[in-house]
Amino acid sequence: MLPTPSSEDDLLLTKQSVVDYKKNQKARAILGHLYQQGSRTLAQLAETLHTSIPSITGLVEELLEQGWVNAVGTASGNNGRRPVLFSLNAGEHYVLILDSTTHDTRLMIVNPRREVIFQRVVDTHLENSAQFLTFLATFVTESLAESGLSHDQIMAVGLTLPGLIDTRRGVNLTYPNLNLTDQPFTDWLEQQVGWPVFLINDTKATALGENRFGGGQGKNHVLSINIDWGLGLGIIINGEVFQGASGFAGELGHIQVDPNGELCHCGKVGCLDTITSASSLVRHMQRAVEAGQQTRLAAFRHDLNQINITHIIEAAHEGDSFAIDLLHETGYQLGKGLSIAVNLFNPEVIIIDGVLAQGSMFITNPIRQAINKHCLSGFRRDLIVEVTKLDGAAKWLGTHAYVMEKVLASY
């Protein structure tokens, strides 16, 4: 709330504050639009943001001086002088993305146009230990030196991790030993690397990437199911990631579907995770091969540990009936779980991400069948179920968008 003016000087200051606030609002809108849509002319920006061309011109000139924006050519057309196109400056304001999983750790440096200019991957996987934080800090320092960029060229870090992440406190409850006793581990990492660190759950990052740049673009209500070694659900409501009270919303994998089922790694019995994740699918195939099931993967009967999810998906695409049946059952059970989410959130689209997205129709068809059977007709009538089109990029794109939107909000 603005202060009540007590004099002419106070009144002038208040008016100036309002003018500056509105000006910054418009500048943020320009930067946000260029981030989402790419290059635009002054006329296009003025039309989109419902303001005058002289006003937009002045703001863009200031953004040019600050290094946020630059001219990138002219718009196509043959009628008269071609207008100049403006875009976010690709040579400034880099975001460093850290993606740690149970498989490896990936570092990417991305410019404001979402172009990856440096990438490094190491086999070190996420561990539930304070030593892992030390590794992250060292990994960032070494990677920056290898990239050839200066410290000042990076403006922020986006850190994506699996697990129950409370973004307000900067803690990960699934990996409690990451959480330092005297401060959030994100604060500790900020002190080590010298940039602000923004933490986001991997599935929520994937959902945000799909909503901003993938199959959920232009849609306000999206479910993104991330099927990897675990199962996560990203929820977009009114165009924003739904976090829940503590940031834990979307743990679809831990609803109980079989009271007499397998023990889940969470400690409970019969979670959806135990029958629909990639790891559960591999276990089922290993058991079947051991029991003498006729399948192409029987060739691994003497070393069951060699069987992986890629083998199962490839076998299905090659016509292996048992692999097809296994994927179908996995997709159907997943669809039953998703039916609950559909009835709760009434999405426009469900996007399948993660390693099982490679299963394509072997996964999506049974998901649709289950939704058709278990959802009310009004919920499923216009619902789209599709595999991601971002080819594994949704998570880092979402992490980048999360950081950029946080930064631009404070511009």
On the CB side of 248, CA atoms within 13 Å amount to 12
More confidently predicted of 261 and 327: 327
Which pLDDT value is given to residue 76? 77
Which pLDDT value is given to residue 3? 47
pLDDT in tens, 273-295: 998 988 899 999 999 999 999 99
The pair of three-digit structure tokens given for residue 24, joined into one six-digit string: 């910054």
Alpha carbons 382 and 194: distance in angstroms, whole number:
48
pLDDT in tens, 146-195: 999 999 999 999 999 998 888 788 788 888 888 776 778 899 999 999 99
Give yes or no for residue 113 having a pLDDT over 60.
yes
Inter-residue contact 96 to 145 (CB < 8 Å): no
For the chain, domains (ranges, CATH) are 19-88 (1.10.10.10), 94-205+396-409 (3.30.420.40), 217-389 (3.30.420.40)
Give Cα separations from 12 to 3, 23, 45, 247, 269 (angstroms). 12, 16, 30, 42, 66
**Bridge-based pairing state of the strands 154-161 and 165-166:** unpaired
More confidently predicted of 92 and 223: 223
Place of tokens 């718009």: 75
* 307-327 average pLDDT score: 95
Inter-residue contact 276 to 333 (CB < 8 Å): yes
Handedness of CA 43, 49, 52, 56 (dihedral sign): negative
Listed in sequence order, the residues at least 6 apart from 244 whose beta carbon sits closer than 8 Å to its beta carbon are 250
* pLDDT confidence band for 79 (50 / 70 / 90): low
Which pLDDT value is given to residue 217? 93
Give yes or no for residue 338 having a pLDDT over 90.
yes
Q: What percent of the chain has pLDDT over 70?
A: 94
DSSP letters of 318-343?
Answer: TT-HHHHHHHHHHHHHHHHHHHHHHH
- Name which of 200, 253, 226, 161 is nearest 390 in CA terms: 226
Which pLDDT value is given to residue 312? 95
Give yes or no for residue 141 having a pLDDT over 80.
yes
* pLDDT confidence band for 268 (50 / 70 / 90): confident
More confidently predicted of 197 and 22: 197
Model-level pTM? 0.89
More confidently predicted of 27 and 14: 27
Average pLDDT across the chain, whole number: 90
* 170 conformational bin, left if phi > 0, alpha if psi -120 to 50, beta if neither: left
Which pLDDT value is given to residue 10? 57
The pair of three-digit structure tokens given for residue 221, joined into one six-digit string: 């209500």
pLDDT in tens, 42-52: 999 999 988 89
Listed in sequence order, the residues at least 6 apart from 246 whose beta carbon sits closer than 8 Å to its beta carbon are 164, 166, 168
Which pLDDT value is given to residue 1? 40
Alpha carbons 212 and 241: distance in angstroms, whole number:
11
Alpha carbons 358 and 14: distance in angstroms, whole number:
57
pLDDT in tens, 319-332: 999 999 999 999 99
* pLDDT confidence band for 267 (50 / 70 / 90): confident
Which pLDDT value is given to residue 77? 65
- Name which of 265, 298, 301, 52 is nearest 174 in CA terms: 265
The pair of three-digit structure tokens given for residue 200, joined into one six-digit string: 């986001």
Which pLDDT value is given to residue 13? 46
Handedness of CA 403, 404, 405, 406 (dihedral sign): positive
CA dihedral 165, 166, 169, 170 (to 10 degrees): 20
